[in-house]
Structure 1
């Protein structure tokens, strides 16, 4: 018996090619052409229209709380990209988008790493999370004084002079800085990446406003951290370390020269 022909609607065929976004809780990383996405952006309008001092979202695990928080951050934060919301429910509300999208500074803190067997221990962990968040944001704000203050305090409170006894002192500070910047899970942080005419110490690509950050770090053997910072910034220019960031589509480039000496640091903006 001849089997009947079965035709598949083109739309169904396209849908079957998509994947489940398992583990993706960053809105900017969710490619809707590649992954399934349930449009929940209508909740943004609900929050605006029915505002209160505090909003509590209670859901079981894996119900998309983190993705919802990330979506709201991507919508309200200064530098928000309207293209991220193209075709979604909230984009239909033109006046609302013009009034609220990209108009606010947003502080987003995850408590996933805030653990402790006592209230004091958990409080200390929360302080660390907030400090690290402030440190990373200072790079975007082009605030070398704040970076210098937080990084110096971190070095003063954590390292020993014996930690820098190695002949490769720069590598020690490089690793600490890399770890702190790695806290931002939605940033692409690259160490010793090939760029221009050499290998930059640290390159960072930030989805927000497509910002790229170049960091060159030096150890000031003679204690002259100003001179070491200037040397670092000159190396960024001479070797064109920003080239890869530009090739990757970063529109805004920020350059930092950072010098360390024992448990102190100096930061200069290029």
Structure 2
């Protein structure tokens, strides 16, 4: 058994290095950051790609009083002159805004006060600092008193909140005689939450003023690093900030420091004796292109490896997809016209589309056009690029199987939601099955397919295509609440795709096939033959059904054929 634990859900550098967790060495990020020095540096990367861990690493490296042992054996330790000059030499303010949320502005502002107050509490020695005046110590006390309803004379008012990071920088710089490093993780989360809950304008003003004070007019700032998922428009919150250097997933600089490279994954799998699982892991979790480097999602790789260590037969899962709301994909589906649906079909099938990508947006811009939604899908990791053209155009693709299956699941949910909204139409469709109206079923199913998004590309295996159509048809039929519907139920000598018992004792068996070669008729006949050979209708007769109707249904893209036998 290997001695190092996998760091599931742990994004604290000190905790990982002090408690014998496996660590993928990204410490040369420090050297490159110093070499390409910028006063304010913004890194945009999708969630779960190591942003918070890198921020924690920066704090552990630069902060006065740091534990040098944390970096022993890591690549940065080989840069002796750099370590001697920079390691443990700066006061560091480090905050994360990922918890700044609320149903209204007051609640979100209170959350922001708490974040600032908790960080300020780390520096309680400032209350006794001989370098600070009484007035400055009073200013510090206002930073740690976050309850605006308090009767104390020291309260973090709105003006104090706006100037809080600048004030804390000033106090620390004066105490230590050194300029401050400011780290702000997940800087865009408060804006996202504000947009969702209707107080976007108020939050924009607060964040703009706070960042303006901390990053633009702060003489005590050595440098700052911000991370987030989106590059929020400079006009929105970075007004007048001329010292901002932005590094997106399209940039080659720093491309290997967020996410796992092929070399990182090879070393990890070798360490844990999981090398034989490389192809499966690549298929599911690789495929992102950051700059010029192929990247895996670290969250996925670590979680799946952890499961494999206890169960060598475990199937891969959608770990990354389950950590976010996926609302942006739902927005795309809701606004999709027929052209956009065709583009989504191409992506699900393993193809590419060409889109103009805007990487600097406001949250309002996202809703302005469907083209902006494509840009956000790219920035947040749902899409990746397979080629770049002039005019900010990119060839976009789904990065891997995990995201492809996420899209398929969301398409199923969207289809069910939209079709169930028209009860007259769906009742007519379902009612045609016990009545044996094959033409009605086929015509209406074709209409549903045209209105929906199908899986038609040869890059997707046949079994996945059949599962997609199975799920779509099952969702339609389950609108009939009085029907007993079973999916993949053992009936006779095998498992039928769909079996139905109606209240008037009609039994229905449906077998679904995908016609890769386009021969729908032959596929339908194969389906009916399978129903007969496997005796799928037997269990329905035993349940007292007086009549059994057997349907073979074949699909190919948006085409379908329905054949019935009784």
Q: TM-score of the superposition, structure 2-length normalised? A: 0.25
Contact 2:488–2:497 at 8 Å: present in 1 too? yes
2:536 maps to 241
1:155 maps to 449
Contact 2:419–2:476 at 8 Å: present in 1 too? no
Question: Tell me, what secondary structure is at the counterpart of 1:231?
Answer: helix
Cα gap change, 1:246 to 1:164, in 2 (>3 Å): farther
Question: Tell me, what secondary structure is at the counterpart of 1:159?
Answer: coil
Question: Tell me, what secondary structure is at the counterpart of 1:241?
Answer: coil
Contact 2:456–2:465 at 8 Å: present in 1 too? no
Separation in structure 1 between the aligned mates of residue 458 and residue 470 of structure 2, nearest angstrom:
12
Structure 2, gaps ≥5 residues long: 1-417
Selected match of 2:471 from 175, 188, 202: 175
1:14 maps to none
Deviation at 1:166, TM superposition (A): 2.9
Contact 1:138–1:144 at 8 Å: present in 2 too? yes
Per-residue Cα deviation, 1:151-197 (whole angstroms, up to 9, x for no partner): 11101111145688531110000000000000000000100000111
Contact 2:506–2:547 at 8 Å: present in 1 too? yes
Cα gap change, 1:125 to 1:187, in 2 (>3 Å): closer
1:215 aligned to 2:504?
no
Deviation at 1:141, TM superposition (A): 1.1
1:267 aligned to 2:562?
yes
Cα gap change, 1:207 to 1:231, in 2 (>3 Å): same
Structure 1, gaps ≥5 residues long: 1-123
CA RMSD of aligned residues (A): 1.9
Contact 1:219–1:259 at 8 Å: present in 2 too? yes
Per-residue Cα deviation, 1:193-243 (whole angstroms, up to 9, x for no partner): 0011100000000012x1100000100010000000000001000110001
Cα gap change, 1:231 to 1:204, in 2 (>3 Å): same
1:188 maps to 484
Separation in structure 2 between the aligned mates of residue 207 and residue 163 of structure 1, nearest angstrom:
39
Per-residue Cα deviation, 1:93-122 (whole angstroms, up to 9, x for no partner): xxxxxxxxxxxxxxxxxxxxxxxxxxxxxx
Aligned residues: 146
Contact 1:195–1:243 at 8 Å: present in 2 too? yes
Deviation at 1:264, TM superposition (A): 1.3
Per-residue Cα deviation, 1:125-165 (whole angstroms, up to 9, x for no partner): 78721111011001011011100001111011111456885
1:139 maps to 433
1:94 maps to none
Question: Tell me, what secondary structure is at the counterpart of 1:140?
Answer: coil
Separation in structure 1 between the aligned mates of residue 450 and residue 458 of structure 2, nearest angstrom:
13
Cα gap change, 1:216 to 1:181, in 2 (>3 Å): same
Separation in structure 1 between the aligned mates of residue 545 and residue 419 of structure 2, nearest angstrom:
33
Separation in structure 2 between the aligned mates of residue 164 and residue 211 of structure 1, nearest angstrom:
37
Separation in structure 1 between the aligned mates of residue 554 and residue 419 of structure 2, nearest angstrom:
28
Contact 1:164–1:172 at 8 Å: present in 2 too? no
Question: Tell me, what secondary structure is at the counterpart of 2:422?
Answer: helix
2:131 maps to none
Q: How does 1:8-157 map to 2 (within 5 A)?
A: 128-157=422-451
Question: Tell me, what secondary structure is at the counterpart of 1:194?
Answer: strand
Q: Which has the larger radius of gyration?
A: 2
Separation in structure 2 between the aligned mates of residue 126 and residue 181 of structure 1, nearest angstrom:
10
Question: Tell me, what secondary structure is at the counterpart of 1:139?
Answer: coil
1:228 maps to 523
Contact 1:164–1:262 at 8 Å: present in 2 too? no
Cα gap change, 1:165 to 1:186, in 2 (>3 Å): farther
Larger mean Cα displacement after TM superposition, 198-207 or 157-166? 157-166
1:24 maps to none
1:205 aligned to 2:501?
yes
1:51 maps to none
Separation in structure 2 between the aligned mates of residue 235 and residue 136 of structure 1, nearest angstrom:
23
1:36 maps to none
The one of the two structures with greater contact order (alpha-carbon pairs below 8 A, sep at least 6) is 1
Question: Tell me, what secondary structure is at the counterpart of 2:513?
Answer: strand
